[in-house]
Every structure is written in C-alpha cells, then in structure tokens.
Amino acid sequence: MTNDSPEEETRAPGSGGGGVGGGKGMTRRNRADDNVTMLTSSMDLHRAGRSRASSSSSTDPAPSITSSLELSIQTRIFKIIVIGDSNVGKTCLTFRFTGGSFPDKTEATIGVDFREKAVVIQGETIKVQVWDTAGQERFRKSMVEHYYRNVHAVVFVYDVTKMASFRNLQTWIEECNGHRVSASVPRVLVGNKCDLVDQIQVPSNTALKFADSHNMLLFETSAKDPKESQNVDSIFMALACRLKAQKSLLYRDVEREDGRVRLTQQTETKSNCPC
Ligand SMILES: Nc1nc2c(ncn2[C@@H]2O[C@H](COP(=O)(O)OP(=O)(O)OP(=O)(O)O)[C@@H](O)[C@H]2O)c(=O)[nH]1
C-alpha cells in the first residue's frame, strides 16, 4: 500500500546485483519488445470502481449487452498477481511499473491494492491489471481465493538482501499450486532491492537454479533505483507479451454472423515476445 505523494528523488548507491547468466532464466538486463508502448499511468481501481458504482446509480440507462461486449472486445485485461513475503517490495514494484516512480512511503498492504496500466503490444491495447497482494498472513487470509481466481500470470518476489524471503518462495509456490492455478499460467521470479549491493544474501546463481527448476524466468532488479525502471517494466511487459501470444481467454474473440454474436476459442499465435 502506498501513500499518494510524488516520488522523492532517490540516489542509487550502485548499479545493483550482478547479471544472471545463461539457462532458461532471463537476465535482469532483458528488455521488453520494441513493439511495446506504455500508454497510461496507474489508476487505483478501488477508486475507479467506486466512481463507476456511483455513476451507475444515476439516471443513465443500463448499458446494452452489445455495448459491453464491444467494450470487452476493445481492450483485453490481463490479471497479474504479485506474491511474496511482507516487505520484499511488491507495492514498490507495482508502483514503479504503473506509476513510473518509487513511493516515498509505504505501509503494509491490507488485502489487495489494484493498479492498472494500458500498454500497446503489436498494435493492440491491453490493460495490465496488477494485483499487489498482502505479504502478511493476517492481512491476506480472507482474500487469498480472490487473488488466484482467473489469474493470468504470477510474479513471485523475494528480497535479495533477505535469504528468508527467498527460502519462503517454496511456500508461496505451494499456495499458488494449491489454488489450482493452471500450469499454462506464466510465472516469473523477481529478486528485488538489487540497489543494496553491499547487503545481498541471495546469489544470482542460486536464484537462477531455483527459477530454472520451476520453469520460471528470473529478473533481478530494484524498484528504488530509477536506472532499473525499464527492467521493472520488462517483468510485466514480458508477461503481457507472452499472454498476448497465448491469446488469453479472459476476453474471447467475438465473431458476428448474421447479426448474432458467437464466442470462439482462440488459437495460439506466435509473437516476438521477449521471453
Ligand atoms: N533499497 C530498496 N528498498 C526498497 C525497494 N523496494 C522496496 N523497498 C523498501 O522496502 C520496504 C517495503 O516495501 P513494500 O513495497 O511496501 O513491501 P511489500 O512487499 O509490498 O510489503 P507488504 O505490503 O507488507 O506485503 C519499504 O520501506 C520500501 O521503501 C528497493 O528496490 N530497494
């Protein structure tokens, strides 16, 4: 959870942890596809939801089925959840991606915070909806089912300066598996706080082995260091590109035939996704 104040100027003490080599993992220097454009800054869906609710109680007629279908066709939404121990920087990472800045103050997330960003991938506008989940058990237990429902991708975060947060990843993965998240749902591993170069406890090689063994890409980055902001973007953009390539079924293609609307399954297509 963040306050809404603008980013405080931050001075990065260093370039962050070392690169990650080879294997199936992705290095922290990887970039999102050049065909990708980010359109908007973050939006608090809690607030947006409230304002939508209040406007719907006005005298406006209810939207027709056709118009809501058309809206769905226009913009697909990819739901990405961010999971990991408390204090690893989940809020800061999502804030960096959706708002482009590092929050000068955060508090423990209670339940979930939604942030959203519209991006253009190969000509299609897609909404990346990021669910910043609570790391503290007491603030998440009533929400867990909601986190995993219809999720399209999962970001597991650990703190490179806290070995315990890395070891606990196994528990987070088990929780995720326990909620019947399909094997086709992409997952990535993020080691955050690489700006704290003198305090790193989790070696890149160890993290890479773990990522490989769970068929995940690895990103090592810093939500705080402005020089790493492109790398933070790459986490979510790589997932969005992959989801687009998979043609996620959250909103299925709608074909119109003889004035009727027909929902169809989409087939897999290739893209030059960075992952
Ligand atoms: N040095 C450094 N500090 C960071 C970074 N990311 C987050 N922090 C700090 O780590 C602390 C926790 O950050 P949050 O983003 O609130 O952590 P969280 O994982 O969302 O925590 P919960 O909401 O409790 O689950 C804050 O004091 C942040 O300023 C980073 O990349 N580098």
Supply the ipTM of this predicted assembly: 0.99
Q: If pLDDT is split at 50, 70 and 90, which confidence band does 10 have?
A: very low
Residue of minimum CA distance from atom 11 in ligand 1: 87
- pLDDT for 1: 57
- pLDDT for 32: 37
Least confident segment among 3-12, 23-32, 123-132: 3-12
Ligand 1 centroid distance, CA of 110 (Å): 14
Q: What is the mean pLDDT of residues 71-84?
A: 84
Residue pLDDT, tens place only, 134-184: 999 999 988 999 999 999 999 999 999 999 999 999 999 999 999 999 988
pLDDT surpassing 70 at residue 36: no
Name which of 117, 111, 81 is nearest 99 in CA terms.
117
Ligand 1 centroid distance, CA of 164 (Å): 15
For residue 108 and ligand 1, the question of a CB distance below 6 A is answered with yes
Residue pLDDT, tens place only, 225-263: 999 999 999 999 999 999 988 864 444 444 444 444 444
